[in-house]
Amino acid sequence: MINGEMLKQAIISGAHNISAQKNHINDLNIFPVPDGDTGTNMSMTVMAAAKALEDCDSTNAGEVAQLAAKAMLRGARGNSGVITSILFRGFGQGLKDMEEVNGKNIAAALGIGVDAAYKAVTKPAEGTILTVARMAYEAGVEASKENHNALYVWQTIVNKANDALALTPELLPVLKKAGVVDAGGKGLCTIFEGMLTFFRDGEVIPYEETTAPTVDTFESAAAEFDDDIEFTYCTEIIVGRDTECTLDPDDLRTYLQTIGDCVVVVNDEEIIKVHVHTETPNVVLEQGLTYGQLLAVKVENMKEQHKNAKKASKKSKKAKKEKFEFAEPTEDIGFVAVAAGEGMKNLFKELGCVNVVSGGQSMNPSTDDIYEAVLATPAKNVIVLPNNKNIILAAEQTVPMVNDRNVIIVPTRTIPQGMTALLNFDPEISADSNAQLMMDAARNVGTGLVTFAARNSEFGGKKIKEGDIIALENGKLTITEKSAVKALVKLAKSMVTRDTSFITLIYGEDVEEEDAQKAFDELQDKFGSRADISLVKGDQPVYYFILSIE
């Protein structure tokens, strides 16, 4: 029989085991895009449970399992981390109120977690962590029919998990082609094996400081403010359109691009919303007045904000995770988005987000990070934009956690989708209707990404070397190049169509201003006659360029 203390030590041992092997698990990610963080995400998820259990002295197995599950849920990062937390949440539910548990109890509890994990994934795929968990559970149930001994059943579960892991390349051809097993499945086997070490040998695998995640991965990725702010004033206006005015709002956008950057102009039959960085906010207001009455005006001095930020940064040599303060839900609708890079975060705030969680590719925020941002948003309905496919599942876990406001996840998979979703918000309709409207708009946006190959690989018959520049069109790798600017131009040629009206080019922290301008000029030469093109300094890590095509 296994009591609470034994289960506690087993989970800690499992956490230490995956912490020690997380880099190896990261390397199993076959896609060359720098998102090989499965091991890191799962390690941080389970280490959250290990930390929570340190001070637990309960001998009740059910209490320990539930405490671990709650900690994993809040610390869950990335899809594999969230699925792991769901497995252990079911495990905790199955062992509830049990002082001691046998093999039959363990297998049945794992089954609850497996069932919940499959339901949590929109399109569950075999050959993944789900397959490994399911086959391990099924073997555990059969073993428990022969022998209720907990060690016997857990050993069977571990053995079958490894057998299932070996089968993943047969179930997913892309794994077989790359000659690797599923990274999430390997992570789960590693956790289970760490737990087995304690159940079988009474030993906790030691914690290795050098390989364990010591800081949030997204902390170090937030870009510093750039000392060279070209335009001083962030200017936003909302114009109530004069019904007799015949001027074209597209002409306003064209004009604003001559006096500033980061230009966004959105219009409908009643209002025009304008955002621009400029030296002459008075001119923006004057131009707005030619279209109707000014309903709202906001002008902020970005250089002064930058100066204050630099003063604050001197108090600490290391960037700290943003702290969110609880806010009472007084307004109707508020927004939370996930983005990395100061420029990108500022842009989302300017587009209406109350709070922006630091994170993105290779730096997935935890469920708790998103949860805290939701509670810091003073709205009865909080719409969350994950802006990354690997963050959606973590965001969805916040919905049942929040009791004092309604949380709605709009499953945006890219930064451009998130931007377009916000621009299509309609304050005149309900939160639920807005969520549908925003996602419908987001689906019509094309996303292009220019980044680097994080590992050697082969796709579409092309051999890709680590460090090569690669471009992705709506998630599909299409281009390899030696120059980020060349890759961008090729990508744009592939994505821009006759129907394209707007192109937004967002450049990252590793792109020089000169190269960004060169890229913008090339796009302007090729497509400027038929589309409005905007250049935005996003400061994002990982991606040299993000291209939004509408």
DSSP-assigned letters across all residues of 353-402: -SEEEE-BTTBPPBHHHHHHHHHTS-EEEEEEE--STTTHHHHHTTGGG-
Cβ atoms of residues 336 and 377 within 8 Å? yes
What does the chain come to in residues?
550
From 119-123, 227-231, 484-488, the region with the lowest mean pLDDT: 227-231
pLDDT in tens, 47-71: 999 999 998 989 999 999 999 999 9
**446-549: what fold?**
Hypothetical Protein Tm841; Chain: A;domain 3 (3.30.1180)
Model confidence at 463: pLDDT above 90: no
Share of the chain above pLDDT 70, in %: 89
Share of the chain above pLDDT 90, in %: 62
Q: How many CB atoms lie within 10 A of CB 494?
A: 15
User: Using CA atoms in the order 170, 172, 178, 182, what is the torsion angle rounded to 10 degrees?
Assistant: -90
pLDDT computed for residue 234 by the predictor: 82
pLDDT in tens, 70-112: 999 888 888 889 899 999 999 999 999 999 999 999 999 999 9
**230-302: what fold?**
Alpha-Beta Plaits (3.30.70)
pLDDT computed for residue 315 by the predictor: 38
Cβ atoms of residues 30 and 127 within 8 Å? no
The answer to whether the predicted template modeling score (pTM) of the entire model surpasses 0.75 is no
The yes/no answer on whether domain 4-201 falls in CATH 3.40.190.10 is: no
Q: Which DSSP state fits 223?
A: P
Model confidence at 469: pLDDT above 70: yes
Q: Is 365 exposed, middle or buried (0-12, 13-18, 19+ CB in 10 A)?
A: buried
- In 76-172, alpha helices (H): 78-94, 103-120, 129-146, 150-171
Domain ranges of the chain: 4-201, 230-302, 321-444, 446-549
Comparing C-alpha atoms, which of 506, 322, 498, 497 is closest to residue 414? 506
Identify the CATH class of 321-444: alpha beta
